[in-house]
Amino acid sequence: MNDVHDAGVATELDGAARARLTEILGDRVRFDEPLAPYTSWKIGGPADAFANVRSEAELAAILRLAHRRGLPWFVLGSGSNLLVGDGGIRGVVIRLGGAYAEIAVAREHGQVVVRAGASAGMPLLVAQGASQGARGIGSLAGIPGSVGGALRMNAGTDREFGEFVRDVAVQTPAKPDAHTVTPQYFYRHTTLARDAVVASVTLTFPADEPAAVREETQGRLVRRKATQPLNVPNAGSCFRNPPGDAAGRLIEAAGAKGWREGGAEVSELHANFIVNRGDATASDVAALLARVRRAVAERFGIELELEVHFVGAFV
Ligand SMILES: Cc1cc2nc3c(=O)[nH]c(=O)nc-3n(C[C@H](O)[C@H](O)[C@H](O)COP(=O)(O)OP(=O)(O)OC[C@H]3O[C@@H](n4cnc5c(N)ncnc54)[C@H](O)[C@@H]3O)c2cc1C
């Protein structure tokens, strides 16, 4: 799967597109920017243009530009669920910040209401929500990444992000000003249009005792530290759990723990995690994922589906 919104033939950025991007963003657009530092796997080739966008007006201008010129574009969150190809991403990679990073938490009529911009970090959102007693927010504890990524992925554990969403505002090439949409949420995906950029989200939780919610949240973070390889670059669970089973259990039972391809290794701690031993390429990870998938299919007749998104050029 490749999520770049390619409006036609993959286009190299020409001088005019570069000039217009610079006009909109000044030195907040960079060209041929390596993407590895922006992903939790620390893997990935360069973006033709890397656009640090700080306001609704800037994003609207970039979406209009991409639409008009047929430029491919991709919105990057915190890069914690992405395998970016070694050949990088053609067109414009959009990274939100500035006004999109705001979080406001308030108690209103027996509820905790969290309003957050798309680039706000989930760990901060969970900490702030917990300190106001947002019951259920512990289910989102320990999920790295941004609010926009969590919405797109319907991230979660025993409960999912979408369960708590009241409103979502998006911007799209056809309608670049922020407007509300009402997607449906499923296990690790949503019906949100592929070309919609999440701008902000409002979440509601029943109000509870802050101390109790904080304690539950802390407990979950501690359990994660014991069961996930958090000190080595990874992208969380690589495969979705098949109905009624756990991908990690199947991979372990297929004997894949510790398998390596180049610098990529199936984690000894959690078999559904692939860790970067330092010099892994996207091709190493892709080869290891394919090998694991084959082994599970041969042993159990189950075709695992990827949870991580592949994006860009695999060389
Ligand atoms: C250690 C670790 C633990 C993890 N644990 C969990 C877990 O418990 N549960 C779980 O569900 N996931 C987990 N993940 C995976 C990952 O954190 C989530 O999928 C997360 O929601 C991805 O957010 P992100 O901002 O990093 O998105 P990215 O990886 O940057 O992008 C993921 C997708 O979202 C899209 N996207 C990002 N921002 C926007 C936006 N503003 N508008 C529209 N689309 C957008 C991207 O285009 C891409 O298709 C874990 C990952 C790691 C590294």
Closest CA to 197 of 61, 68, 41, 29: 61
User: How much is the pLDDT for 315?
Assistant: 82
**Alpha carbons 25 and 16: distance in angstroms, whole number:** 14
pLDDT for 134 beyond 90: yes
User: How much is the pLDDT for 4?
Assistant: 57
Concatenated DSSP letters of 172-237: -SSS-S-EEE---EETTEE---TTPEEEEEEEEEEB--HHHHHHHHHHHHHHHHHHS-TTS---S-
Q: Is 6 in the pocket of ligand 1 (CB under 6 A)?
A: no
Q: How far is the CA of 144 from the centre of ligand 1 (A)?
A: 7
Q: How far is the CA of 76 from the centre of ligand 1 (A)?
A: 9
Render pLDDT for 94-104 as a digit per residue (tens, 0 to 9).
Answer: 999 999 999 99
Q: Is 77 in the pocket of ligand 1 (CB under 6 A)?
A: yes
Q: Is 309 in the pocket of ligand 1 (CB under 6 A)?
A: yes
pLDDT for 11 beyond 60: no
Report the share of the chain in percent with pLDDT over 70. 96
pLDDT for 212 beyond 60: yes
pLDDT for 2 beyond 80: no
User: Which of 50, 153, 185 most suits a substitution to test ligand 1, by most atoms within 8 Å of the C-beta?
Assistant: 153
- State how far the alpha carbon of 282 is from the alpha carbons of 32, 48, 198, 311, in Å: 18, 18, 27, 10
User: HEC states along 60-124?
Assistant: HHHHHHHHHHCCCEEEECCCCCEEECCCCEEEEEEEECHHHHCEEEEEECCEEEEEEECCCEHHH
Q: Is 45 in the pocket of ligand 1 (CB under 6 A)?
A: no
Q: Is 190 in the pocket of ligand 1 (CB under 6 A)?
A: no
Instruction: From the CA of 118, give the closest atom in ligand 1.
Output: 41
User: How much is the pLDDT for 1?
Assistant: 36
In this structure, what are the phi and psi dihedrals at residue 97, rounded to the nearest 5 degrees? -165, -155
Our answer to whether residue 131 is catalytic in this structure is: no
User: Does an H or E element contain 162, and which?
Assistant: none
* pTM of the predicted protein model: 0.95
User: How much is the pLDDT for 229?
Assistant: 94
